[in-house]
Amino acid sequence: MILVTGSAGFIGANFVLDWLAQHDETVVGLDKLTYAGNLESLASLKDDPRHIFVRGDIGDAELVGQLLKQHRPRAVINFAAESHVDRSIHGPEDFIQTNIVGTFHLLESVRAYWSGMTGEGVIQDNFRFLHVSTDEVYGSLAKGDPAFSETRRYEPNSPYSASKAASDHLVRAYHHTYGLPVLTTNCSNNYGPCQFPEKLIPLMIVNALAGKPLPVYGDGQQIRDWLYVKDHCSAIRCVLEKGHLGEVYNIGGWNEKANLDIVHTICALLDELRPRADDKFYREQIAFVADRPGHDRRYAIDARKVERELGWKPAETFETGIRKTVQWYLDNQGWVDNVQSGSYRQWVEKNYAGRG
């Protein structure tokens, strides 16, 4: 049994689906179902007895304590977070609340659970708390700078990355001070199925198909390092099984790309797979807009530690992953309509009122 927080979000849902495809071990998913949480991503597990879903907040000590006591997981994997940089610029409070205060309460609940295992030797020794974090904690690189290694100084620049940095420090401190068996992963930009269409890649696909402008911030020459979400999930499974306690692992696929190149790639794929009715090119919808305040120029992950020490390697290249992703959005217009519609929110409130 494992407990996965943020299990209805983009990476959390992909992780749960992959886990149950590969292991016969039950998953308890805990998710607050904010705007970013979408149970439709887990619809294929509706009748799977190995999947238990609970709506709730990682900061709800009573609920989390009760879940830990009842299900006795051998691992907790913490994906739950506010994750969008632009939202953190417009309103940082939820980021402080979930990413810092929420993680603190979760750590306290887990520490109480883990301490209470004393005397149950084997289970306590095997328990793991894996914290999923981001490369954004390291700040911004200039052209030619070496990629982020695990020893890179933290220099977070947005309220989002500052809140994730704080959570990483808390996780580290719980290991150092209390001996809590933790692992931390810092990953680069993910893309793939079920990503909420506010992030660059799904937003561009969805806007292109809807005939809307494709808003490129500033000059579009900012660089991100892209990893297909299923490769992030396989890296987390690998760190969970083989990682050394207290260690940090940077996860990335050596795929640095400028934003404008990404948008051009998506446009070209759509021209091929779903040509515009008016025979024009999707790239004609590109619109350069005001830059993001404090916009980090470049991220790049040095993934040699996880590759060398744990033997992890990504399965997808950017070319194969982006084609699959564009095709997924073409095939799942219903999913997009649902996450963007108020009716899904009404359904959540009707079925999961009172928690979260």
Task: Output 38 or 285, the one with its CB closest to ligand NAD.
Answer: 38
Candidates 189, 234, 255, 285: give the one binding ligand DAU (CB under 6 A). 189
Cβ atoms 59, 112 nearer than 8 A: no
Cβ burial of 40 (10 Å; 0-12, 13-18, 19+) is: middle
- Give residue for tokens 């068996």: 181
* Residue 118 CB contacts under 8 Å (≥ 6 apart), including other chains: 124
Q: Minimum distance between the CB of residue 173 and ligand NAD, rounded to whole angstroms?
A: 18
3-class SS of residue 303? coil
Decide: is 199 part of the binding site for ligand DAU (CB under 6 A): yes
Question: Which residues, 4 to 33, sit near ligand DAU by CB under 6 A?
Answer: none
Candidates 85, 110, 130, 170: give the one binding ligand DAU (CB under 6 A). 85
Residue 292's binding partner, choosing from ligand DAU, ligand NAD, none, with beta-carbon cut-off 5 to 8 A by kind?
ligand DAU
> Per the residue annotation, which of 135, 168, 296, 316 is the catalytic one?
135
Q: Which residues of 97-115 are buried (b: 16+ CB within 10 A; e: fewer)?
A: ebbbbbbbbbbbbbbebbe
Cβ atoms 95, 88 nearer than 8 A: yes
Decide: is 217 part of the binding site for ligand DAU (CB under 6 A): yes
Question: Which residues, 274 to 303, sit near ligand DAU by CB under 6 A?
Answer: 292, 299
> Could you tell me whether strands 75-78 and 128-134 are parallel, antiparallel, or unpaired per DSSP bridges?
parallel
Q: Angle CA(336)–CA(273)–CA(195) in degrees, nearest 5?
A: 30
Whether 282 is catalytic is: no
Token pair, residue 53, equals 């879903």
Residue 216's binding partner, choosing from ligand DAU, ligand NAD, none, with beta-carbon cut-off 5 to 8 A by kind?
ligand DAU
Q: Angle CA(277)–CA(261)–CA(306) in degrees, nearest 5?
A: 125
> Per the residue annotation, which of 31, 57, 113, 160 is the catalytic one?
160
Token pair, residue 305, equals 């530690």
How far apart are alpha carbons 295 and 26 in whole angstroms?
40
Task: Output 82 or 113, the one with its CB closest to ligand DAU.
Answer: 82
Q: Minimum distance between the CB of residue 231 and ligand NAD, rounded to whole angstroms?
A: 12
Whether 135 is catalytic is: yes
Q: Minimum distance between the CB of residue 233 and ligand DAU, rounded to whole angstroms?
A: 15
3-class SS of residue 144? coil
Decide: is 41 part of the binding site for ligand DAU (CB under 6 A): no
Residue 41's binding partner, choosing from ligand DAU, ligand NAD, none, with beta-carbon cut-off 5 to 8 A by kind?
none
CA Rg value for the chain: 20
Q: Minimum distance between the CB of residue 32 and ligand DAU, rounded to whole angstroms?
A: 16
Task: Report which residue's Cβ sits closest to ligand NAD.
Answer: 9
Task: Output 60 or 136, the one with its CB closest to ligand DAU.
Answer: 136
Q: By CB under 6 A, which span of 19-27, 62-70, 209-217, 303-311 interacts with ligand DAU? A: 209-217
Cβ atoms 257, 222 nearer than 8 A: no
Whether 136 is catalytic is: yes
Question: In the complex, which residues of this chain contact ligand NAD (CB under 6 A)?
Answer: 5-6, 8-12, 31-34, 36-37, 57-59, 79-83, 98, 102, 132-134, 164, 187, 189-190, 196
How far apart are alpha carbons 77 and 12 in whole angstroms?
9
Q: Supply the residues annotated as catalytic.
A: 135-136, 160
- The residues of the shown chain that bind ligand DAU, judged by CB under 6 A, are 83-85, 134-136, 188-189, 199-200, 203, 215-217, 222, 224, 259, 292, 299
